[in-house]
């Protein structure tokens, strides 16, 4: 099953170190192979993730803060 990421949003976040970080939000997509012979069709899986520009994962907390993992 083929998967890919689709960019949903990006925003700036300020760290406790005072630096600004660019955060990118992606949704996971999976190829819908039930449409044989059709143009590629991708469906969202319901899973999203956030990462910094350098690839480190970011967790969004319930209070609106972000944490680099």
Sorted by where each begins, the domain ranges of the chain are 3-68
Does the predicted model carry a pTM greater than 0.75? yes
- Provide the residue-wise pLDDT of the chain in tens; the chain has 69 residues: 688 999 999 999 888 889 999 999 999 999 887 766 667 788 999 999 999 999 999 998 899 888 888
Cα distance between residue 52 and residue 12, in whole Å: 10
Which residues, listed in sequence order, are joined to residue 62 by a DSSP beta bridge?
none
Q: Which two tokens stand for residue 36?
A: 């044989």
């Amino acid at each position: 099953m083929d998967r890919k990421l689709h960019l949903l949003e990006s925003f700036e976040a300020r760290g406790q170190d005072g630096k600004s970080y660019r955060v990118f939000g992606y949704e996971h997509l999976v190829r819908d192979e039930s449409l044989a012979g059709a143009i590629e069709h991708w469906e969202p899986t319901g899973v999203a993730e956030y990462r910094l520009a350098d690839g480190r994962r970011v967790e969004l907390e319930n209070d609106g803060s972000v944490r680099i993992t």
